[in-house]
A and B are shown apart, each in its own frame.
Chain A
Amino acid sequence: MDYVIQQIINGISVGSIYALIALGYTMVYGIIKLINFAHGDVFMVGAFVGLFSVQALEAQGMQSKIAIFLIALLVSMIASALLGIVIERTAYKPLRNASRIAVLITAIGVSFMLEYLMVYFLGPQVKGFPEIIEKTQYTIFGVQIDSNQIMILLVTVALMVILQFVVHRTKIGKAMRAVSFDQEAARLMGINVDTTISATFAVGSALAAAGGVIFGMTYSSVDPFMGIIPGLKAFVAAVLGGIGIIPGAFVGGLLLGVIETGVSSVGYSMWRDGVAFAILIGILIFKPSGLFGKNVREKV
């Protein structure tokens, strides 16, 4: 029993990182229906900015670990938000009226570009990421859990609640929903569509950066290609939950983490991703809009 509980905890801790990245993914998708493959790379850039901030702050002789972490997180989120806006303005905005698949290819291009810019300046080797806040291990009834795992889950839940609030209770959120529903109509209603989309990208990218820093800290390493797999997993999580739906991304992420861990824990770690994809396909076939998605009937 301990074993099962331990594995569920492991699964939730993996899943909460997926969820954290998926939140940003689903925001961006919700508004312009773009599978933003560069999201994983913004996540990577965020992690690197976090790493450099930490190194700079430590070199300055800053003592308080919490302060270092929070400042690094903030710097990284702001930098990535700006990066997100720049990417959106330069690469996606000119394609606002092009086919969605063309934007997708652009996103792939941007993704490669970010990866290889990092390789160009820093080399492709993995770099260690300091454990900023030391972990405390707790053993409860023989089950291991650490402060970091709890922190990630709390951060993810908090962000989800904040996002949900922003999207459903604020003016900008209302604008976001309007734009995602019908861009043209939103424009006619006097909503500044470009600003709204940029704001969404900024929020999404900042979330990705937060994910990157936390990811780097949890797994103690960063490299230019670190965003590919988590990006893909986050996308799967977002689809699983129903793309564009914020609580869906959260649940999808957790579910994906638990499924993967479950498969590994019974000794089929090689089939882990395969099973995760198979379940995803199964869910999509029986509920094509994802777990939380509404099945919108196409109008004739």
Chain B
Amino acid sequence: MRLQNKSFWTGIVISVLIYAACQLLIETGVLDDQTKTTLILICINIILGVSLNLINGITGQFSIGHAGFMSIGAYLSAILTLDFDLPFVVALILGGLAAAAAGMIIGIPSLRLKGDYLAIATLGFGEIIRIIWINTDYVGGAAGLSGIPNETNWTWVFVWTLITVVVINNFVNSTHGRACISVRENEIAAEAMGINTTMYKVMAFVIGAFFAGVAGGLSAHMFYILTPQSFNFLKSFEILVIVVLGGLGSTSGSIVGAIVLTLLYTWLQEWPEIRMLVYSGLLVLIMIFRPQGLLGTREITFNFLKKRGVQDGTTNIPS
């Protein structure tokens, strides 16, 4: 950590500059509403991507139930601000914690399941959560919960994006993160080295789910209405696409993925007829020509102009 201080602070400074620049553009009205919403959506997608990357990319646990965690944070925080008048931050954190609790419950079967079986189990959990919302009249059932106050703004999402990236990045670079990577690389070897693989898998799920819940809360307080349908398995796929496109196992990759995909999707809005055709076509092409994702497992660092593997030489996984 100490050695990387310089890079860390450079990153913080650059982020703050980006924040200030965007904030200035918003304040002066240079950016219109749609662009502002797009910026916020990008940040929410970054939080989702980075948190899923911790589970899928870093720890190697194939999860496609992220939309389920997101919905828990979204619904709970919305209820807390709507019906209990809690401050926005408190609601967000409680929403995140509830999602984290769900992450723990879902993490437990992952102790026994591997690969595609885990994938289908997490998908199942995600769908079960959605079905629970549909059947809960208190949150409007299938019709959804509307009238959620608009609390999310550029500052909030930026702060949370920063927190997510810093926390997850530091986690990955800590002893615990190393342990998670070892679970991904070779679970049996990791276990043989005395790493409690069970604990690390659950830990990844819990942290990932927490931030997914926060992203859900931010999104709920941005878009006025919540419907269970927004959190179906296709939403989980969307997040997975962000992670894989950016480069599985790379935090900066998830960020790039979120930005590229959100902008691409927005840009294609002009041509509804071919929107999804172009989107899916590009997805296939990128995967064919760059199956490791845009960044692979590399990270963009601020040790200037150097791109390299995660510190201690976690090299690209040979594909």
Contact = CB atoms under 8 A, between A and B. Distances in A.
Interface of A: 29, 33, 35, 91, 94-95, 97-106, 108-113, 115-117, 119-120, 232, 235-236, 239, 243, 270-271, 273-274, 277-278, 280-281, 284-285, 288-290, 298, 300
Contacts of B62: 101
Interface in B264-311: 273-277, 279-281, 283-284, 287-288, 291-293
B208 to A, nearest CB: 16
A289 B114 CA distance: 9
A120 B279 CA distance: 14
Interface residues of B, number: 48
A281 B240 contact: no
Contacts of B281: 109, 113
Contacts of B291: 94-95, 98-99, 102-103
B113 A274 contact: no
B71 interface: no
Interface in B124-154: 124-125, 127-128, 131-132, 134-135
Interface stretch (B4-12, B18-26, B241-249): B241-249
Contact of B135 (A100, A270, A278, A281): A270
Given A99-B319, A109-B281, A243-B117, 16 more contacts: A35-B116, A94-B291, A105-B240, A106-B283, A109-B283, A109-B284, A113-B277, A113-B280, A115-B276, A119-B276, A120-B273, A120-B277, A232-B233, A271-B135, A285-B113, A300-B192
Nearest to B116: A35
B248 A99 contact: yes
B225 interface: no
Contacts of A95: 287-288, 291
Contact of A270 (B127, B131, B274): B131
B188 interface: yes
Nearest to B132: A274
Contacts of B115: 100
Which 4 A-B pairs give the minimum distances between C-beta atoms?
A: A98-B291, A277-B124, A112-B280, A109-B283
A94 B285 CA distance: 10
Contacts of A239: 116-117, 120
18 contacts: A99-B317, A100-B115, A101-B62, A101-B240, A102-B287, A105-B244, A106-B288, A108-B241, A112-B276, A116-B280, A235-B120, A236-B124, A270-B134, A273-B127, A273-B131, A277-B124, A280-B120, A288-B114
A77 B97 CA distance: 50
Interface of B: 56, 62, 109, 112-117, 119-121, 124-125, 127-128, 131-132, 134-135, 187-189, 192, 233, 237, 240-241, 244-245, 248, 273-277, 279-281, 283-284, 287-288, 291-293, 317, 319
B116 A243 contact: yes
A280 B127 CA distance: 12
A243 B142 CA distance: 33
A300 B283 CA distance: 36
Contacts of B116: 29, 33, 35, 239, 243
A108 B280 CA distance: 8
A31 to B, nearest CB: 14
B246 to A, nearest CB: 11
Contacts of B279: 112
Q: State the main secondary structure of chain A at its contact with B.
A: helix
Contacts of B274: 116, 120
B284 A106 contact: yes
B113 A112 contact: no
Contacts of A33: 116
A162 B223 CA distance: 53
B128 A274 contact: yes
Given A101-B56, A235-B120, A236-B120, A274 B131 contact: yes
A236 B244 CA distance: 23
A277 B188 CA distance: 29
Nearest to A236: B120
A270 B137 CA distance: 13
Contacts of B293: 102
B61 to A, nearest CB: 11
A110 B280 contact: yes
B316 to A, nearest CB: 11
Contacts of A99: 248, 291-292, 317, 319
A277 B120 CA distance: 9
A32 to B, nearest CB: 12
Given A108-B241, A113-B284, A232-B233, A284 B292 contact: no
Nearest to B283: A109
A289 B117 contact: yes
A105 B120 contact: no
A103 B128 CA distance: 26
B153 to A, nearest CB: 32
Contacts of B319: 97-99
A290 B109 CA distance: 14
A285 B112 contact: yes
A252 to B, nearest CB: 12
Nearest to B282: A109
A247 to B, nearest CB: 19
A43 to B, nearest CB: 17
B122 to A, nearest CB: 9
A280 B121 contact: yes
Nearest to B126: A277
